[in-house]
Chains A and B, each alone.
Chain A
């Protein structure tokens, strides 16, 4: 008898979702699906608003990564104004982005995934979040909480608020780095570095032990990887060009401008989820899926550019024993390497006296009616695409979010874990061990999806509404193509 196994809700995500496994009459897995069950509608209500409001409006998409949307919106605004922000402003935006990536990765690793990674798979579900870590390893939990506070503290002191600051604007930023903020950052950096070192030490010890198998095989799947890189090919989170590599490490596209995005990327929709499926047009819907985010950034770049992070990056690649790391589980390790990159980047930037002085904003009137901005958010490459009228009011907007770009990979990772971990074929009435269901959820958490960011195109979504009676009969079925 065919049946569906449902995990609802999936816990410790930013947003709401469920997982279903569909099983046929013989008990074989037919499909594993990650259903995103929330819809936001942001793109629609941005229409008609001035482009200058976009950094503030789009920041409201999310309370975790508002800074990422602000930076991308401001970058898009720069292009509508046709201005290059002053060097001071570019450095300050980069500083803000590094702090954002640091605090978001700390949230993902310590608050959401630490139980999966550090405590094993069999614990009581009530103890599997940050509270499990607090009970099991208070020293690491304390340090992780303070690492996130450090990232948030940099954002607050630089931009005025931890969440939804209004400091980034088209053309630059509102103010320079103050000596007090610089002193605060310098005072707190050493503790943040110690925490990163402690987390890496604990994590790598587990990779050499209990997590050895997971590190290579958990949600392992081939895909393309896309991220920004600097002009010399090194890791970049702000200014840069897009590079795409395949699972063998071959660069299949390089030095791409974000302006190529509409011709390069299309978005598929499915009736069972609000999350879209972006793919590379040239390779088609199935073969053209790609991954973004920490793993992609470390696979795509040719180095980080700072000493400690470079050492960690080389070790990260060497541990995989392949030119490219393909296991979904490696996202966790990649986040820790990126935290190191962020801390070193922050140290380098605050050492630059020019961030405390000089012009921080370029001003101009509207000089273009369409622009695409790009930046690296914690979860991956983020695109904002605006079309405006001659008064600068938004007439069309499309946001391509990291979580959406990882959507197909999340579904494939789920299927890979389900095939690997569950005792197929499954007969009626089989009891599924809790730890196996935890591993399915963990496959999704590897990607740290931010669903509130990535579900907001009401007009483009295929929508199906079914009304079912208690006996399972469909009483009404309405769908929008």
Chain B
């Protein structure tokens, strides 16, 4: 839990692979849950919170430079069980537990994913904006999701 009411923050990524770890870092700083990938067992964590925010790195088409926060609805079916998309995890949570938390996805544009714990300079520039969106989501009620 994030400490912001009953909202859950889930950060996705690999903290050992440069910018890919940005979701992990932001979620850890917010007291959220950090995972390298989404698996079906995580659906159980969605039982209880009324809101959930996924944070992930984003190889933006066209090189978008600003983090984006957008609402997320359950979607998708099938695929592998080792790496679910956030929308599919919402579907699994509904199918298994009948829960449907209001969900949002914070996408942070990433540049490079070398074998390194450091973030790229370009991404570091974006961190304040990403944090502002995270704090806005935390401060807002369910309508924000």
Contacts and interface: CB of A to CB of B under 8 A. Distances in A.
B122 interface: no
Given A134-B92, A134-B96, A141-B96, A129 B41 contact: no
A207 interface: no
A112 B79 CA distance: 11
Interface in B1-48: 40-41, 43-44
A205 to B, nearest CB: 23
Contacts of A130: 40, 81
Given A111-B40, A134-B40, A129 B95 contact: no
Q: Please indicate which of the listed interface residues A127, A131, A138, A149 has the most CB atoms of chain B within 10 Å of its own CB.
A: A131
A125 interface: yes
Contacts of A127: 77-78
Contacts of A365: none
Nearest to B92: A134
B62 interface: no
B78 A129 contact: yes
Question: B interface, by DSSP: helix, strand, loop or mixed?
Answer: helix
Question: A interface, by DSSP: helix, strand, loop or mixed?
Answer: helix
Contact of B79 (A124, A131, A146): A131
B95 A135 contact: yes
B75 to A, nearest CB: 13
Contacts of B81: 111-112, 129-131
Contact of A134 (B44, B79, B95): B95
Interface in A353-377: none
A148 B40 CA distance: 11
Contacts of A141: 96
Interface in A384-421: none
B114 to A, nearest CB: 19
Interface string B68-84: 00000000011111000
A145 B95 contact: no
Contacts of B95: 134-135, 138
A111 B39 CA distance: 11
A148 B41 contact: yes
Contacts of A149: 41, 44
A271 B106 CA distance: 48
Contacts of A135: 77, 95
A142 interface: yes
Interface in B63-119: 77-81, 92, 95-97
B99 to A, nearest CB: 12
Contact of B78 (A111, A126, A138, A145): A126
Nearest to B80: A129
A268 to B, nearest CB: 32
Interface string A130-164: 11101100100110011011000000000000000
A127 B79 CA distance: 8
B87 to A, nearest CB: 13
B40 A145 contact: yes
A131 B77 contact: yes
B41 A145 contact: yes
Interface in A160-178: none
B96 A138 contact: yes
B40 to A, nearest CB: 6
Given A111-B40, A145-B41, A149-B41, A126 B77 contact: yes
A128 B81 CA distance: 11
Q: Please indicate which of the listed interface residues B40, B41, B81, B96 has the most CB atoms of chain A within 10 Å of its own CB.
A: B40
Interface string A61-80: 00000000000000000000
The 5 closest A-B pairs by CB, nearest first: A126-B78, A130-B81, A111-B81, A134-B95, A145-B41
23 contacts: A11-B80, A124-B78, A125-B78, A126-B78, A126-B79, A128-B78, A129-B81, A130-B81, A131-B77, A131-B81, A134-B40, A134-B92, A134-B95, A135-B77, A141-B96, A142-B96, A142-B97, A145-B40, A145-B41, A145-B43, A145-B96, A148-B41, A149-B44
Given A131-B79, A138-B96, A141-B96, 5 more contacts: A111-B40, A129-B80, A134-B92, A134-B96, A149-B44
